[in-house]
Structure 1
C-alpha cells in the first residue's frame, strides 16, 4: 500500500507541486514508507516555504488545548506557524499570503472528536488551493457510529453534519466537506494506492506513530471513539497514565462491583477488568482511582460509542451523588446527559443507530476506495 506522501515524486502529482511556493500542514506522526518525515520529503524536492502546526504542535507534544507560539523548524529553519486558535472559526488569511499551494498531510483517527478535522475545514475556507495527501482511516471505512452532530452543538471538537465514527479517509473527508458544505475550495487529493475499506490499521502492518499525546497506541483509537465522552464528566479518562481511554475510574468507584455490574450488560465485543491507577496529571492527579480496563475482543461487533453511553448510564445509577457531567459532554456527544438516564437510554441508542445509517448512506458518494 502507498499513502499520498509516497507518491509526491510521481506524475501526475509531482506537477502539482513543482514550481510552487508550498506550505505544509503536518506533525511528527507523518512519515512515508521509508520512514522519512513529510517535512523532509517536501523540503528535499520542492520549494517548501512554511510549516503549519495543528493542535499539539509540529512535534505533537503539546497537551490538548495548549496554544503554540510561532517558531522555526530546527532541522530546516523553515518557519512554523500555528493553526490552533482554540474555538476561533476562521484563520487569518495573512497566514497564507506567501504560499501558492497548501499541502495537508496529517494522520487522522477517523473520529469527529479529533480537532484535525476542524483544522482541515478551516483551511478549506482559507482561500488558498489545497492538496490533501491521503492516509488510511485506522478504523477502516465501513463502520459508522454515533449521531450526526447538529449545528447547535458544533464546535472545534465536533463538526456539524458528521457522525462520531464517520468511516472516511482524510482525503474522502475533505471531499465530503467541500461537497456537503458547498465550500468551493480549490481541492485536490493524492489518493491511496492499494487500500481497501475493510482494512483497519492492524491489517496494514504499519507502525503506529502517536498522533497526539493521548493516542500513543493504535489500540486506544477504537476505545477513544466512545470513552472520549468521559472528558465531559468528573471521571478520569486515563490521562496521566500510559493508557488513556483504555482505562477509566475515580476515587469513589468500587472497581469490583462495577466490573460485575458492567458484565451483566453483555456488551458486544468488549470485556472489562477491575483496575486501580494513579494519574500523574489531569483529573485526580496523584490520587488512587478505581475503575475498569477495557479489552476489545471482537472489533467487528464492538461499538465503542454505544458502549460508553451504556457504561456511563450504569455509573450514573450506581453513583448518582458522585458522578457529574460538564458542558464538554454535550459538545462531544451532541446531546445532554439526560439522554442517557436509565429511562431514556434505549431510545437514545436506537436514535443514534438510525442516524449512523443515514450518514452511512450520505457518505457513499464521497468514497473513493472499494
Structure 2
C-alpha cells in the first residue's frame, strides 16, 4: 500500500512537471492510514487496482469538489495529527505518527460535513439534532424530546398527564379561573348565556334541570418566547438556575385551555343542590413560525420543507363538583320584552376534587 501511494505521488509530480515530493508522499500515506478503518474510498480502491493513474485523477476531482462545496472546511488530510506533522520543517526523515480510531472518525466526519454543508437544510437539521443532545446535557429533557419528535417527523399526539399539565403555570391558573367562573357566574345565574340564567333563576320548587356550560382561556406563544429569553438572561448574567423555566418555555408555545361542565341542579325550598363533572382540555400545537427562536435555529425552514412535522400536545383530566346555592329573594327583570320574577341567587358553597384517572 505504501509503495502504491509513493507511485501515485510520483505520477502526480511528473504530470505537474516537478520532482517527486517526499513530504507529499507522506501526506498521501497519512491520509489513507487515517481512513483505513473506514469504508474503502474510491482513491484507495483505485490504488490497489491501478497503482497510480486512477488515484491521481480521483484525488484531483475530490479536491476540486471539496473546494467548490466549501472552501473554508478542512480537508481530510488536515486532521489534528497529520496537520501538526506536516507543519514541521524537519519531518522529511520521520515516519508518520500512528493515527488512532478517534482520528479516523474525525476524518470521516469532516468528509460527511463537507457534503452536508452543500445542502443548507441538512446543515440546519444536523445542528438541531446536536442541540437536542446539548439540551439533554443541560437538563432540558422535555424540550429535547419534543424537538426530536418534530425532527423525526412524528405527527402523533403527544399526551401529557394532569400532573404534567399543572406544572405549566398558565394551564394551572386557567383551570382555577375557569372553575371559579362556574361557581361564581354559572351557578349563581350571572353567566352571559340567557338560557342558563333563566333555567337557574326561574327554577321551580322540587324541579331538576341538566345544564351544560364552558369557559376558555388562551395564551399567545409570544409569552413562551419572552420567558425563554428572561430565563436565559437570568442564567447567563445573574448565574441563577432557570433550568425548569427554560425547559418549559422551549417545550410549549401558545395554549388553549377549555373547561366543559355538565351538571344537575335540583331545588328544595330556598336551596339549589348542584352536582356535576368538569372536563379540562389543554391543547398546544408544536410548530414554528418565521419569528423568534424557530426562525433563528432554522426549524421553520425545515418545517416548510417537510423535514420537520408539527404535532398536537394534549392533556385531558376531569373533576367532580358538588355544592349548594341559596335563593336570597326575588326581583322583576325584563326578558324578551316582558317583566318576569326571578330568583336572586348567592352564597355558593362548593367542593371540586380530582377524579382518579
**Does TM-score exceed 0.5, indicating one fold?**
no
Name the one with the larger helix percent. Answer: 2
**TM-score for the superposition, normalised by structure 1:** 0.22
Question: Larger Rg: 1 or 2?
Answer: 2
Name the one with the larger strand percent. Answer: 2
